[in-house]
Amino acid sequence: MVRSNKPSAIGLGESIPQPTVDIKDNILNASLPTGESIVVHLYGATVTSWKTNGQEQLFLSQKAHLDGFKPIRGGIPLVFPVFGPPPQNHATSSLPQHGFARNSNWEFLGKSSSESAENPGEIAVKLDFGLSHTMLSEEFRKAWPYEFGLVYSVTLTRSALETALEVRNEGQQNFEFQVLMHTYLNIEDISNIRIQGLESKTYVDKTSNASSHTEESPAVAVTGETDRVYQGLDPATPIVVSSDEKPIFSVTRESLTDVVVWNPWIEKAKGMADFGPDEAYKNMICVEAGSVAAWQTLEAGDSWVGGQSIKSRL
């Protein structure tokens, strides 16, 4: 999205209402003058709420731990530097499933607001979060001893939620990483949901021995446990989630060519201690933009940026 670099109206004597940003107990609340809002926990830099028109767009388990005890079950946990259980004999082998970003304490780097170039008067707010090797627990630093810096930007506009991650290699050694924005979308009823934009793409089905398939459906329905890694997608082609044939979310990406579609369904939902209530699997679908089918190599001194933009209730 193109925005003007106009400075914030505050102090200029202009009357454009500005976003509000509060931080309390390591939780940030930001809202736009038009009413849209987000909540971000410094633990994991996890976005746990995104409201538009008074409606919650992200799913958060009622049993999610919000005290730093374990990664937050819901919202948008960030997966880095490994997706899933780490492979053996790899630099990430000693890390937990999905790495350390979602279970480390990030710092708030600051906020900025800007005016939409397309719709003057429409204000967006961007919150930046940082995590570097010096901030990791000793355990994580030992398990992945690279000198890195992450800057995660969460931008709330009137029509979208954008999340972007910059990965910097600040050391002398190259490193490999995977990244994923594990977005839990809030839905009314999984039986009415269809996902478009995946047809003819190859996917690995993690529920059946990582077997490889080609998606045949132009509108994928979720009728049982689903855990698929779709690969090699064009990031500019939106993944559209519809309910009762009405589009409710559209996800475009930048530099993220894989998309994971996950729903734990009945048994797995019951088996997760932090997932609740049991039937809540009907109210969520994870559409996760990432780069996970292969490894990104980042050379010493280089940086990489990837992100997603989610539009809701289109």
Ligand X SMILES: O=P(O)(O)OC[C@H]1O[C@H](O)[C@H](O)[C@@H](O)[C@@H]1O
- State the binding site: 73, 97, 102
C-alpha 55/C-alpha 249 separation (Å) is 13
Reported as half-sphere exposure (CB side, CA atoms, 13 A), residue 169 has a value of 17
Residue 255 C-beta: closest distance to ligand X, Å: 20
Binding mask 106-125 for ligand X (x = CB under 6 A): --------------------
Distance of CA 313 to the CA centre of its chain: 18
Nearest residue to ligand X by CB is 262
Q: Which residues are catalytic?
A: 182, 288
Residue 65 C-beta: closest distance to ligand X, Å: 12
CB nearer ligand X, residue 39 or residue 180: 180
Residue 199 C-beta: closest distance to ligand X, Å: 21
CB nearer ligand X, residue 120 or residue 224: 224
CB nearer ligand X, residue 98 or residue 311: 98
CB-based burial, 274-310: b 16+ in 10 Å, e otherwise = ebeeeebbbbbbbbbbbbbbebbebeeeeebebbbbb
Binding mask 185-204 for ligand X (x = CB under 6 A): --------------------
CB nearer ligand X, residue 52 or residue 265: 265
Residue 143 C-beta: closest distance to ligand X, Å: 16
Q: State the DSSP code for 140.
A: H
Interactions with ligand X, residue window 89-108 (CB under 6 A): 97-98
Residue 64 C-beta: closest distance to ligand X, Å: 11
Determine the length of the chain. Answer: 314
The answer to whether the beta carbons of residues 145 and 92 sit under 8 Å apart is no
Binding positions for substrate: 73, 97, 102
Q: In what order do the strands lie in the sheet with 193-196?
A: 107-115, 123-132, 148-156, 160-169, 303-312, 246-254, 239-243, 193-196, 219-221
Collapsing DSSP to helix, strand or coil, 268 comes out as: helix
Angle at 196 between CA 190 and CA 202, to 5 degrees: 105
C-alpha closest to that of 223 among 163, 182, 265, 164: 265
CB nearer ligand X, residue 71 or residue 86: 71
Interactions with ligand X, residue window 227-286 (CB under 6 A): 227, 260, 262, 286
Residue 258 CB partners (closer than 8 Å, separation 6+): 180, 229, 230, 231, 232, 233, 289, 290, 291, 292, 293
CB nearer ligand X, residue 36 or residue 227: 227
Interactions with ligand X, residue window 61-90 (CB under 6 A): 71, 84
- The conformational region for residue 270 under phi > 0 = left, psi -120 to 50 = alpha, else beta, is alpha
Q: How many amino acids of this chain bind ligand X (CB under 6 A)?
A: 10
Strands, DSSP E only, in 206-302? 211-214, 219-221, 226-230, 239-243, 246-254, 258-263, 284-298
Residue 121 C-beta: closest distance to ligand X, Å: 39
User: Is 206 an interacting residue with respect to ligand X (CB under 6 A)?
Assistant: yes
- Contacting positions for ligand X (CB under 6 A): 71, 84, 97-98, 206, 227, 260, 262, 286, 288
